[in-house]
A and B are shown apart, each in its own frame.
Chain A
Amino acid sequence: MRYSAYSIFKQALSGNRLWKPAWREPEPMPHYDVIIVGGGGHGLSTAYYLAKEFGITNVAVIEKGYIGSGNVGRNTTIIRSNYMLEGNNPFYELSLQLWEGLEQDFNYNAMVSQRGVLNLFHSDGQRDAYARRGNGMRMHGVDAELLDREQVQRLAPYLNFDHARFPILGGLMQKRGGTVRHDAVAWGYARGADMRGVDIIQHCEVTGIRRENGVVTGVETTKGFIGCNKLALAAAGNTTTVGRMADLRLPIETHVLQAFVSEGLKPVIDQVITYGAGHFYISQSDKGGLVFGADIDYYSSYAQRGNLATVEHTMQEGVSLIPGLSRAKVLRAWGGVMDMSMDGSPIIDRTSIDNLYLNCGWCYGGFKATPASGFCFAHLIAKNETHHVSRFMRLDRFERGYVLDETGKGAQPNLH
Chain B
Amino acid sequence: MTSYRLGAPADGSGNGLNRAHPLTFTFDGRSYKGFEGDTLASALLANDQMLMGRSFKYHRPRGPVTAGSSEPNALMTIGTGARGEPNVRATVAELYEGLTAVSQNRWPSLSTDFGAVNGLFGPLLGAGFYYKTFMWPAMFWEKIYEPLIRKAAGLGKLAMQADPDRYEKAWAHCDLLVIGSGPAGLMAALAAGRAGARVIIADEGFQLGGSLLSESVSVGGVSAADFARSTVEELTSLANVTLMPRTTIFGWYDDMVFGAVERVQKHVGTPSPDLPMERLWRIAAKRAILASGAEERPLVFGGNDKPGVMTASAMRTYLNRYSVSAGTKVAVFTNGGSGYRTAADLSASGVTVSAIIDARAQSSDVVPEGVRVIRSGAVVDTKGRLRLDGLIAERSGFQEQIECDALAMAGGWSPVVHLMCQRGAKPVWSDDAQAFMAPDVGAAFIAAGSAAGCDTIAACLKDGAEKGAALCLALGFSSYAANIPEVEGDYDPAFAPLWYVPGAKDKAFVDFQNDVHVSDLGIAQREGFGHIEHTKRYTTAGMATDQGKLGNVNTIGIVAGMRGVSPAEIGTTTFRPFYTPVSFGALAGTSRGEHAAPVRTSPLHDWAKKNGATFVEAGLWHRSAWFAREGEKGWRDSVDREVLNVRHNAGLCDVSTLGKIEIFGTGAAEFLNRVYSNAFLKLPVGKARYGLMLREDGMIFDDGTTSRLAENHYVMTTTTAYAGEVMAHLEFASQTFWPELDVRFVSATDQWAQMSLAGPKARAIMSRVVEDDISDAAFPYLAAKTVTLRGGLKARLFRISFSGELAYELAVPAGYGEAVADAIMEAGRDEGICAYGVEALNVLRVEKGFITHSEIDGRTTADDLGYGKMMGMNKPDFIGKRLSSRFGLTAADRAQLVGLKPIEADKEFKAGAHLLKEGASPSMASDQGWVSSVCHSPTLGHMIGLAMLKSGRERYGEKILVWDGLRGSEVVAEVCSPVFVDPDNRKLQG
Contacts and interface: CB of A to CB of B under 8 A. Distances in A.
Say if the two chains contact directly (CB < 8 Å). yes
Interface string A59-87: 00000011011000100000000000010
B531 A122 contact: no
A305 interface: yes
B859 A264 contact: no
A266 B156 contact: yes
Interface stretch (A214-222, A241-249, A367-375, A407-415): A407-415
A353 interface: no
A361 B913 CA distance: 30
B671 to A, nearest CB: 21
Contacts of A107: 135
Contact of B162 (A21, A184, A324, A328): A324
Given A107-B135, A139-B923, A327 B83 contact: yes
A229 to B, nearest CB: 28
A86 B922 CA distance: 13
Nearest to A335: B576
Given A328-B158, A331-B581, A323 B592 contact: yes
B869 interface: no
For the side of the interface on B, what is the size category? 35 or more
Most buried by A among B131, B157, B162, B519: B131
Contact of A103 (B135, B537, B857): B135
Contacts of B578: 330-333
A57 interface: no
A167 B622 CA distance: 12
Interface stretch (B227-235, B647-655, B696-704, B778-786): B696-704
B131 A109 contact: yes
Interface stretch (B26-34, B122-130, B239-247, B489-497): B122-130
B155 A265 contact: yes
Interface in B147-188: 149-151, 153-163, 167, 169
Contact of B527 (A20, A115, A405, A410): A20
Given A164-B596, A266-B158, A332-B577, A327 B84 contact: yes
Contacts of A208: none
Contacts of A304: 424, 574
Contacts of A205: none
A357 interface: no
Contact of B593 (A13, A73, A101, A323): A323
A109 B858 contact: no
A86 B131 CA distance: 35
Contacts, number: 372
B192 to A, nearest CB: 25
Interface stretch (A30-38, A41-49, A310-318, A378-386): A310-318
B158 to A, nearest CB: 5
A277 B593 CA distance: 12
Nearest to A157: B160
A403 B149 CA distance: 43
Interface in A168-205: 181, 183-184, 187-188, 202
Contact of B857 (A25, A311, A408): A408
Contacts of A8: 124, 129, 132-133
A303 B169 CA distance: 27
Given A122-B617, A138-B922, A312-B588, A288 B533 contact: no
B592 A267 contact: no
A11 B126 CA distance: 10
A183 B534 CA distance: 9
Contacts of A403: 697, 888
A227 to B, nearest CB: 26
B306 interface: no
Nearest to B912: A131
B911 A131 contact: yes
Interface in A90-129: 90, 101, 103-104, 107-115, 122-125, 127-129
A330 B162 contact: no
Nearest to B921: A139
B146 A264 contact: no
A131 B913 contact: yes
A12 interface: yes
Contact of A135 (B161, B538, B593, B963): B963
Given A111-B146, A140-B924, A267-B150, A326 B912 contact: no
A136 B924 contact: yes
B588 A145 contact: no
Contact of B923 (A140, A202, A400): A140
B955 interface: no
Given A21-B526, A139-B927, A165-B594, A108 B577 contact: no
A139 B924 CA distance: 6
A141 B158 CA distance: 38
Given A25-B528, A267-B154, A407-B858, A132 B914 contact: yes
A332 B576 CA distance: 7
Contacts of B129: 8
Interface of A: 3-5, 7-9, 11-13, 15-17, 19-25, 65-66, 68-69, 73, 86, 89-90, 101, 103-104, 107-115, 122-125, 127-136, 138-141, 144-146, 158, 160, 162-167, 181, 183-184, 187-188, 202, 262-268, 277-278, 284, 286-288, 303-305, 307-308, 311-312, 314-320, 322-334, 397, 399-403, 405, 407-411
Query: What 9 A-B pairs are tightest by C-beta distance, nearest first?
Result: A408-B858, A131-B912, A401-B888, A288-B154, A401-B886, A324-B160, A326-B163, A329-B581, A3-B132
6 contacts: A16-B519, A135-B930, A141-B923, A164-B594, A329-B584, A400-B887
Given A130-B912, A305-B424, 11 more contacts: A103-B135, A109-B130, A109-B133, A122-B617, A128-B854, A132-B930, A286-B150, A307-B253, A308-B257, A319-B591, A323-B161
Interface of B: 56, 82-87, 123-124, 126, 129-136, 138, 141-142, 146, 149-151, 153-163, 167, 169, 251, 253-254, 257, 259, 280, 282, 422-424, 519, 522-523, 526-529, 531, 533-534, 537-538, 540, 544-545, 547, 574, 576-578, 581-585, 587-589, 591-597, 599, 616-618, 695-699, 701, 853-854, 857-859, 883, 886-891, 910-914, 922-927, 930-933, 963-967
